[in-house]
């Protein structure tokens, strides 16, 4: 049996952001992936800084469901567990999960439904 050892080369943060639209309204949008070139997993601050509106442009970002994937040489990847990130830049959170994040987005790598079942029950989405 052959084996191949792949070297860890970094991490990629992907997800779906909940946004406040200019002129009113809320929605969800896939984030641009953010790559962290480090052998250490990203900190919470780095993950929060990576939350973005995919270049769409919005009044504010309410929060996001993100996943941190480990990247290896030769294109190998391991997928992390989805997690809910609140907007630390806005000071306080007013995310209405049942109205915003529960809808998902067909182009996103990550959906609110990827959250652990215990989290979905806590958020009253199940």
User: pLDDT tens, 43-98?
Assistant: 888 888 899 999 999 988 888 888 899 999 888 888 888 887 766 444 443 444 44
Q: Which pLDDT belongs to residue 60?
A: 86
Q: How many CB atoms lie within 10 A of CB 24?
A: 7
Neighbouring residues of 36: CB distance < 8 A, sequence distance ≥ 6: 10, 11, 12, 13, 42, 46, 50
Does a structural domain hold residue 61? yes
**Structural domains of the chain, count:** 1
Q: Which residue has the higher pLDDT, 35 or 26?
A: 35
In the predicted model, is pLDDT for residue 32 greater than 90?
Answer: yes
CA dist., res. 58 & res. 106, Å (int) = 19
Does a structural domain hold residue 4? no
The model's confidence at residue 106, banded by pLDDT at 50, 70 and 90, is: low
Give 21's DSSP letter: P
CA dist., res. 120 & res. 114, Å (int) = 9
Q: Which residues span the domain enclosing 34?
A: 9-122
Does a structural domain hold residue 114? yes
Does a structural domain hold residue 47? yes
Does a structural domain hold residue 2? no
Does a structural domain hold residue 68? yes
> Has this prediction a pTM greater than 0.85?
no
Does a structural domain hold residue 3? no
Q: Which pLDDT belongs to residue 87?
A: 63
Does a structural domain hold residue 1? no
Q: Which pLDDT belongs to residue 105?
A: 58
């Amino acid at each position: 049996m052959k084996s191949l050892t792949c070297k860890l080369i970094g991490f990629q943060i992907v997800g779906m952001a909940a946004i406040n639209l200019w002129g009113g309204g809320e929605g969800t949008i896939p984030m641009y992936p953010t790559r962290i070139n480090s052998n250490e997993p990203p900190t919470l601050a780095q993950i929060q800084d990576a939350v973005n509106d995919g270049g769409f442009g919005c009044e504010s970002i309410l929060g996001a469901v993100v996943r941190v994937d480990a990247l290896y040489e030769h294109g190998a990847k391991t997928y992390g567990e989805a997690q809910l990130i609140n907007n630390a830049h806005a000071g306080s959170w007013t995310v209405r999960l049942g109205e915003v994040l529960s809808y998902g987005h067909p182009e996103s790598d990550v959906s609110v439904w990827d959250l652990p079942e215990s989290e979905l029950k806590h958020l009253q989405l199940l």
